[in-house]
Amino acid sequence: NAGVTQTPKFRVLKTGQSMTLLCAQDMNHEYMYWYRQDPGMGLRLIHYSVGEGTTAKGEVPDGYNVSRLKKQNFLLGLESAAPSQTSVYFCASSRGGDWSSGANVLTFGAGSRLTVL
C-alpha cells in the first residue's frame, strides 16, 4: 500500500545540469500534480495532469517540463537547472471528478529535496 512514491529523495545538481524526478502512484488516480515548496511561500503548482497523455501548466511552470506516458507515473524534468530551482518538490495525485464529492482530495508523496549549486 505505497500510495505516492517519489524518487529520488535527495539530489544535488550543478547549474546547467539536467535531471528528472519520478512520481509513481498505485491508487489508479486520474489526476497527478507537481508542486514546489519554498519557505514562507506554501506550495505552488508547477504542472498537473488530468489523465494519461495529458499535461497542463500550473502557477510556476517555467524551467520545468513534464510527461505522463503511463497513468501511474508523472515525471518532472529540469532541462538546465538554476539555483532558483532549489526547493522541495512534492508530487500528489487525486481520483479526479466532482470536487463536491471529495474526489479531488490530494494524496502527497514524501517529497524530493533538490539543491542546485
Partner 1 sequence: AQSVTQLDSQVPVFEEAPVELRCNYSSSVSVYLFWYVQYPNQGLQLLLKYLSGSTLVKGINGFEAEFNKSQTSFHLRKPSVHISDTAEYFCAVRVFSGSARQLTFGSGTQLTVLP
Residues that bind partner 1 (CB under 8 A): 4, 31, 33, 40-45, 48, 50, 56, 58-59, 90, 92, 99-102, 104-106, 108-111
As measured in angstroms, the least distance from the Cβ of 33 to partner 1 is: 7
As measured in angstroms, the least distance from the Cβ of 15 to partner 1 is: 26
As measured in angstroms, the least distance from the Cβ of 42 to partner 1 is: 4
Look at strands 42-49 and 56-57 and give their pairing.
antiparallel
- Yes or no: say if 47 and 57 are a contact pair by the CB < 8 Å rule: yes
Look at strands 112-116 and 10-13 and give their pairing.
parallel
